[in-house]
Amino acid sequence: MKIKAAIAGGTGYTGGELFRILLHHPDVEIVAATTTSSEGTPVCEVHRDLIGETDLKFGKEVGKPDVLFLCLGHGLSREFLDTHDIGDSCRVIDLGNDFRLDGDYAGRHFIYGLCECGKDNIRQAHDIANPGCFATAIQLALLPLAGQGLIQDEVHVTAITGSTGAGKKLAETSHFSYRDNNISIYKLFTHQHLGEIRRNIGKLAGHEPVVNFVPMRGDFPRGIFASVYTRAAAGMTEERYAALFEDYYKDSPFVFHSSSGISLKEVVNTNKGLVHVELHDGYVHISSIIDNLVKGASGQAVQNMNLMFGLDETAGLKLKPSAF
């Protein structure tokens, strides 16, 4: 019997990605999709690439699914749980930031769902707080260091994201005329993902590191490229760092260490994460890349679902990259 899934907030970018993944998932049936703006509208009229893929229409209620994906604006997931009748047996995966730092709400306990860290906890979880996109990319660069106590100084991050990271709602900085041929900094040192990065990495490292984060808007639609560096630990060579990353991700089906430099197109449209480590003048530098809508959002949410329901972790996620 297939898992019955419902999507709340299915008209946005992450909702659209969930449709694209789950419609071809061998173990899932989408039974409902809610929206506040397009009730009664066929899903394929909102997501035009899904013409011929589904006859589902947007509605107001989620029914009685086995799992509910919340693809709502940040701060709206709590409101949705308060105003909808969600059965206790229904598992919830929140793609917003409502439960990443405070996981207890309305009798539910949300586990932080970074699939490359704490996988056993995810398998046992009833509800999941999906990590943020920047948080995912940056933590993939830091997890191997944190686990070995090798973060001994401040961490410096500059990361650039595609325009889809701003969501579907139009803003001045998401207009084509602003974004095209343009790069800009935003939320300098104050980005909302810093809290979850510091807390989660801090649990592994034994202390919360100082993370200096410079987020940037890119002039491309999707993908995140994070440049991460910190002072190298005594006695660590580039070869030892590379071996550390190889070992940490050896059992990961989606995250890989590359021995050579990496670029965004190697991961766009996939659930992959690629990392590359180098040593320069006493500093260890890690490049980390993901697709912000897949590994940074909907793909990781499905990966979490697979783990929660005891499925093959890669089910529905063997996606083709856009190489050119």
Instruction: Please name the residues in contact with 46: beta carbons below 8 A apart, sequence gap of 6 or more.
Output: 10, 11, 16, 38, 58
94/130 Cα distance (integer angstroms): 6
Residue 133 appears among annotated catalytic residues:
yes
By DSSP bridging, strand 91-94 and strand 67-70 are parallel
Produce one character per residue of 167-176: b if its CB has 16 or more CB atoms within 10 Å, e if not: eeeeeeebee
64/87 Cα distance (integer angstroms): 7
* Marked catalytic residue, from 71, 115, 117, 133: 133
Residue 288 sits at φ, ψ, to 5 deg, of -140, 130
158/264 Cα distance (integer angstroms): 15
What kind and span of H or E run contains 313?
A: none
By DSSP bridging, strand 127-129 and strand 211-217 are unpaired
Residue in this structure with the two tokens 């529905």, named with its chain if needed: 316
107/25 Cα distance (integer angstroms): 30
Q: % helix / strand / coil in the chain, to the nearest 5?
A: 30, 25, 45
Bridge partners of residue 160, in order along the sequence: 216, 225
For CA atoms 103, 224, 298, 165, give the dihedral sign: positive
- State the catalytic residues: 133
